[in-house]
C-alpha cells in the first residue's frame, strides 16, 4: 500500500534535509516539499528524491528537490514530471520555459511542442 506524502511528513523531512543542507532557506525547502505533497507524491518517492537531492552537487537551492533527475524513474506515473510546473526547452533560442504538459523528452533533454517534430 502506497503511503502519500503529506504535510506532517513535510515537517519531519524538513529537519532531515536542513541538517544535510544547512545553507538552504527553510521557506524554499518547505515550499518544495509542499509542492510534492500537493501533487500526490508517495512518501517513498519524496524521501528518495530528498536524499538524491542533498547529495547532488548541482543542487544549490531547495528548488532542486523537484528536479526530475532527483526522482526515481517511475514508469507507472509521471509524478516527477508533474511536480515541475514548467520546464526549459533545450531547442528554444533564447531558452524558454513551457508548461510540463507541452513538453516531450528526447535523448538530449526536454523539448516544447514547437520543436518536437524537428528532432
Ligand atoms: Zn522549444
Same domain as 28, residue 17: yes
The answer on 66 and 30 residing in a single domain is: yes
54 and 102 both lie in a single domain = no
99 and 75 in one domain?
no
Q: What is the DSSP string of 19-64?
A: HH-TTS-HHHHHHHHHHHHHTT-BHHHHHHHHHHHHH-TT--SGGG
Domain limits for position 117: 85-119
Residue 85 CA to ligand 1 centre (angstroms):
16
Q: How far is the CA of 82 from the centre of ligand 1 (A)?
A: 19
**119 CA from centroid of ligand 1 (Å):** 11
Q: Which of 10-24, 28-42, 88-102 has the lowest mean pLDDT?
A: 88-102
Distance 72 CA to ligand 1 centre (A): 26
Please check whether residues 97 and 68 belong to one and the same domain: no
Q: 77 is written with which cell numbers? A: 506515473
59-87 mean pLDDT = 71
Asked if 17 and 69 sit in the same domain, the reply is yes
Q: Residue 87's beta-bridge partner residues? A: 98
pLDDT band at 75 (very low <50, low <70, confident <90, very high): very low
Does one domain contain both 65 and 109?
A: no
Binned at pLDDT 50, 70 and 90, residue 110 comes out as confident
* Residues 62 and 112 reside in one and the same domain: no
**Is the same domain home to 45 and 77?**
yes
108 vs 65, residue with greater confidence: 65
Cα of 73 to ligand 1 centre, how many Å?
24
Q: The pTM is what?
A: 0.61
User: Could you tell me the pLDDT band of residue 99, with boundaries at 50, 70 and 90?
Assistant: confident
119 and 89 in a common domain: yes
- Whole-angstrom Cα distance, residue 26 to residue 95? 29
Amino acid at each position: 500500500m502506497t503511503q502519500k506524502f503529506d504535510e506532517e511528513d513535510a515537517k519531519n523531512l524538513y529537519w532531515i534535509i536542513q541538517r544535510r543542507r544547512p545553507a538552504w532557506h527553510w521557506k524554499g525547502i518547505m515550499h518544495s516539499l509542499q509542492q510534492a505533497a500537493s501533487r500526490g507524491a508517495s512518501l517513498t518517492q519524496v524521501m528518495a528524491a530528498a536524499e538524491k537531492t542533498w547529495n547532488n552537487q548541482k543542487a544549490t537551492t531547495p528548488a532542486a528537490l523537484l528536479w526530475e533527475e532527483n526522482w526515481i524513474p517511475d514508469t507507472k506515473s509521471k509524478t516527477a514530471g508533474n511536480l515541475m510546473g514548467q520546464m526549459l526547452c533545450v531547442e528554444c533560442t533564447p531558452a524558454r520555459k513551457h508548461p510540463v504538459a507541452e513538453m516531450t523528452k528526447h535523448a538530449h533533454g526536454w523539448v516544447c511542442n514547437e520543436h518536437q517534430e524537428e528532432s
